Amino acid sequence: MSYKFNIKKLAAAGILCAVAVVGSTFSVPVFGSMCAPVQHMINILCAVLLGPGYGLGVAFVASLLRNLMGLGTLLAFPGSMCGALLCGLAWKYSKNNLPLTLVAEVLGTAILGGLLATPIATAFMGKTDLTFYAFIIPFLISTVAGSIISGFLVFALKKSGALQNMTEALNH
């Protein structure tokens, strides 16, 4: 098997992962989960700049580091990873449709991640009095905030031509 790594993309992924971890210090507790809108902003930036595979990897590593450093909970994994994968796939297969990518981040994090968080909270965090959809609203609050921020950022980068320059630099 031959694996081809783009060093520029790997370095950018590392930087975005670091921003996600540092940005998680600006989280808000909502119903037992830590809402970290910076992670969702990073998910979308990864989707736009790096693609779904790197986005999923950044979400996993950022969630792992946040947990190891005591900045997050196990619920960081399903929320961030589902959102990162779905918005990465949306950006890639929709030919760079930003509104669809933002919606995919929200649906991936709030709906899929929110539904997957309940069994994780029950099995590993000792939360037994949860309904199956207990984390959808807190995840929704977090991801909508991060999606709005990244939507403005990506739109500004796209309009100025910087997004195209960044993408070309990462792919060559």
- Using CA atoms, how far apart are residues 22 and 62, in angstroms rounded to an integer? 9
DSSP label at residue 94:
T
Give the mean model confidence (pLDDT) for residues 127-153.
Answer: 85
pLDDT at 137: 85
| Residue 3, pLDDT above cutoff 70 | no
Q: Which of 154, 158, 118, 162 is nearest to 46 (CA)?
A: 154
| Percent of the chain predicted with pLDDT > 70 | 94
- Which pTM was predicted? 0.89
Q: Average the pLDDT over 149-155 and give the result.
A: 95
**Residue 159 Cα to chain centre, angstroms:** 23
Listed range (69-83, 86-100, 102-116) with the worst mean pLDDT? 69-83
* CA 45 and chain centroid, separation: 9
The arithmetic mean of pLDDT across residues 83-88, rounded, is: 96
Q: Does residue 11 register a pLDDT over 60?
A: yes
Quote the CA–CA distance of 23 and 27 in Å, as a whole number: 8
With 60 as the cut, is the pLDDT of residue 1 above it? Answer: no
Give the DSSP per-residue string, 15-26. Answer: HHHHHHHHHGGG
Q: Are 14 and 54 in contact (CB under 8 A)?
A: no
Statement: residue 4 has pLDDT above 80: no
Res. 132 pLDDT band, cuts 50 70 90: low
The per-residue pLDDT for 32 is 59
Residue 44 in contact with residue 147, Cβ under 8 Å? yes
User: Rounded to the nearest 5°, which phi and psi values hold at 100?
Assistant: -65, -40
